[in-house]
Chain A
C-alpha cells in the first residue's frame, strides 16, 4: 500500500514565514536537526535521555557553524563592496 502523509488533514507540512528578515541560525539549526536525528517519544527512557543530549550537542554545533557561515558570507560581501568602491554599504553589511 502506498501511504502518504497527505492522507492526514492538511497541515502535515509546516510552513514558517518571516517578515523583513531571513531565518536565523537558530531557526535553521532546528530545521537541520530534525533531518539529522529524530528522537522518538517511545524510546526507552535512558536511551531517549541520551539521544536528546546528543541532539542538543549537535544543535549547538550547527548554530555555531551557521553563524560563522553568515559572518563569513557578509565578510565576503563587504569585501566585494569595498573593492567596488562602496565603503558605506560595506560598513552597513558589517554592522548587521
Chain B
C-alpha cells in the first residue's frame, strides 16, 4: 500500500482519444479526493472508486473518512483555470483547493474526471501525512508555466 505520485497511464491514452476536456469554460469537471497513507494509488490507477462505506474509518479504499472530518466522500470539484500554450508547451492549471473547517490527515490525493466516469488523471503525494485540526487543508498547485505546471505536453 502506497501513494506513488504519477500521471495515470490510462489518462495518457484517454487524452489521445479525446477523453478529457480541460477547457475552463464548458470543459469537464475534475475533482480531487484525499487519501490516507495506506491507500494504493499510482500510475496504474484508472478511476476513482468510492469506498464501500464512506463513513467507515478507515474506508475500504483509504480515502479520508467522512466521520468526524467534515470531508465529503469523493472530494471537491476543482476550479479549472483552463489550458495555456507557452512556446512549444501546452499545460493545464487548477486553482489551489481548500478543504475548509476540516479535521483530517491525508498523505496524497487523486485528481479524476467526474464528467467522464471518474477516470483518473493524476496521483499526487504530499510527501507524508498532513493534518488539519478544525481548520483548512489547502493544496497549492505548482506555478502555471511551461516548466512547472501540473500537466504539460511538450
- Chain A positions within 8 Å of B, measured between CB atoms, are 1-7, 10-23, 31, 34-35, 38, 40
Interchain CB contact under 8 A, B135 and A21 = yes
Chain B residues with Cβ below 8 Å from A14 are 139-140
Interchain CB contact under 8 A, B152 and A4 = yes
Complex Cα–Cα for A21 and B149 (A):
29
Interchain CB contact under 8 A, B135 and A18 = yes
- Chain B positions within 8 Å of A, measured between CB atoms, are 5-7, 12, 15, 81, 93, 95-96, 98, 100-101, 122-127, 130-145, 148-154
Complex Cα–Cα for A14 and B15 (A):
26
Chain B minimum-CB-distance residue to A28? B98
Q: Which listed residue, B6, B127, B136, touches A22 by the CB 8 Å rule?
A: B136
Shortest distance from the beta carbon of A62 to any chain B beta carbon, whole Å: 14
Chain A minimum-CB-distance residue to B95? A35
Shortest distance from the beta carbon of B138 to any chain A beta carbon, whole Å: 4
Chain B residues with Cβ below 8 Å from A10 are 5, 124-127
Complex Cα–Cα for A23 and B147 (A):
28
Interchain CB contact under 8 A, A15 and B7 = no
Interchain CB contact under 8 A, A13 and B124 = yes
Interchain CB contact under 8 A, A13 and B140 = yes
Q: Which listed residue, B93, B98, B125, B152, touches A3 by the CB 8 Å rule?
A: B152
Interchain CB contact under 8 A, B137 and A17 = yes
Chain A residues with Cβ below 8 Å from B137 are 15, 17
Interchain CB contact under 8 A, A4 and B151 = yes
Q: Which listed residue, B95, B126, B138, B152, touches A23 by the CB 8 Å rule?
A: B138
Interchain CB contact under 8 A, B134 and A15 = no
Chain B residues with Cβ below 8 Å from A7 are 7
Complex Cα–Cα for A13 and B80 (A):
16
Interchain CB contact under 8 A, A17 and B138 = yes
Q: A2-B7, A18-B132 are in contact. Are A12 and B142 (CB under 8 A)?
A: yes
Chain A minimum-CB-distance residue to B101? A22
Shortest distance from the beta carbon of B44 to any chain A beta carbon, whole Å: 14
* Top 3 A-B pairs, shortest CB-CB distance: A18-B135, A10-B125, A17-B132
